[in-house]
Amino acid sequence: MRRAALIAVPYAWLLALFLIPFLIVLKIALSDYALSIPPYAPTLDLSEGWEGLRTFFAGLDFETFRFLTTDDLYWKAYLSSVWIAAVSTALALAVGYPIAYGMARAAPEWRPTLLMLVILPFWTSFLIRVYAWIGILSSEGYLNQILIGLGLIDAPLAILNTNVAVHIGIVYTYLPFMILPIYATLEKMDESLLEAAEDLGCSRVSAFWRVTVPLSKSGIIAGCFLVFIPAIGEFVIPSLLGGSETLMIGKVLWEEFFNNRDWPVASAVATVLLLILVIPIVLFQRNEQKQREAEG
């Protein structure tokens, strides 16, 4: 009973904050658009009991989801979001891994300070940090002023309102989520393994790729998930730093909910986005479980 009660707590949390909201969104996605408040006509009426459920499943259709396949806007937004999130995740990994490696190899007395510096940006509002990049990346911003002052460029670079600015904003915002799990795995790594690899003839570079990187695989995967998942549905960063040509599903979702007030379509977009994120995670977890069982 104690074990069941202990397990029931996180399951109740997931039920209340994930499954129930998801079912509500799915119910709206399967509803019909209507000029009312709220702007949809539910096809499922729970007040009718089992008869309402029978009527709902008998007349169930996925017209809203089929509509997403007829308009190029939606599938282009999904592909663009996946591409921008994937590139940003790769850039965050390229920047975050050396930082995490340096933190893990620093003197023990310096590690808490370095860890605090990584977490320090979270002490400032997310919105303020994104707005600050507007002043840095604009044509009259600090970055262009510095580059012109150094004589590296003759005219200001057009960085703001481009996908490049979106990549910069995502990498800067979610970089700590990449650094922290990699640092956690590297800090626990036994350095005697590197010494053994070098004794067996490996150079430092070879030992790094053959020993350090494979042992930090779990941290790399965790960091990539922590960056990719929120980045693919990002709305604030592409709205403030990206231009009109920056197409991400978060912006489309916002426009459907608040500008077009088409809640069924917006809910369908959110449902498909959730499936895009959940299915790879489930497949990865099953693969990891099979590998652990094979090793055991």
Which has the closest alpha carbon to 174: 241, 125, 126?
Answer: 126
Query: What is the CATH number for 221?
Result: 1.10.3720.10
Is residue 183 over pLDDT 90? Answer: yes
On whether residue 286 sits in a domain, the answer given is yes
Longest dimension (CA), the chain: 76
pLDDT bracket for residue 31 (50, 70, 90): confident
Burial group, residue 87, by CB count within 10 angstroms (0-12, 13-18, 19+): middle
pLDDT at 291: 67
Number of structural domains (the chain) is: 1
| CA angle at 134 for the pair 150 and 182, rounded to the nearest 5° | 85
pLDDT at 290: 75
Lowest pLDDT segment from 50-59, 60-69, 117-126:
50-59
Over residues 273-292, the pLDDT tens digits come to: 888 888 777 877 776 777 67
On whether residue 271 sits in a domain, the answer given is yes
User: Measured between alpha carbons, how far is 100 from 106 in angstroms, rounded to an integer?
Assistant: 10
Q: What would the mean pLDDT of 212-241 be, rounded to a whole number?
A: 90
User: Measured between alpha carbons, how far is 221 from 212 in angstroms, rounded to an integer?
Assistant: 14
On whether residue 45 sits in a domain, the answer given is no
User: Measured between alpha carbons, how far is 29 from 21 in angstroms, rounded to an integer?
Assistant: 12
- Residue spans of alpha helices (H) in the chain: 2-14, 20-29, 50-58, 63-70, 72-105, 111-119, 126-137, 142-149, 163-187, 192-199, 204-207, 213-215, 217-232, 236-241, 249-254, 263-295
On whether residue 97 sits in a domain, the answer given is yes
On whether residue 33 sits in a domain, the answer given is no
Query: Dihedral of CA 106/110/111/116: which sign?
Result: negative
Report yes or no: 93 and 175 within 8 Å, Cβ to Cβ.
no
Is residue 295 over pLDDT 80? Answer: no
* Tokens linked to 59: 């007349």
On whether residue 209 sits in a domain, the answer given is yes
pLDDT bracket for residue 133 (50, 70, 90): very high
- Of 139 and 43, the structure prediction assigns the larger pLDDT to 139
Domain assignment of residue 120, given as a range:
76-295
Over residues 69-107, the pLDDT tens digits come to: 888 889 999 999 999 999 999 999 999 999 999 999 899
On whether residue 192 sits in a domain, the answer given is yes
On whether residue 5 sits in a domain, the answer given is no
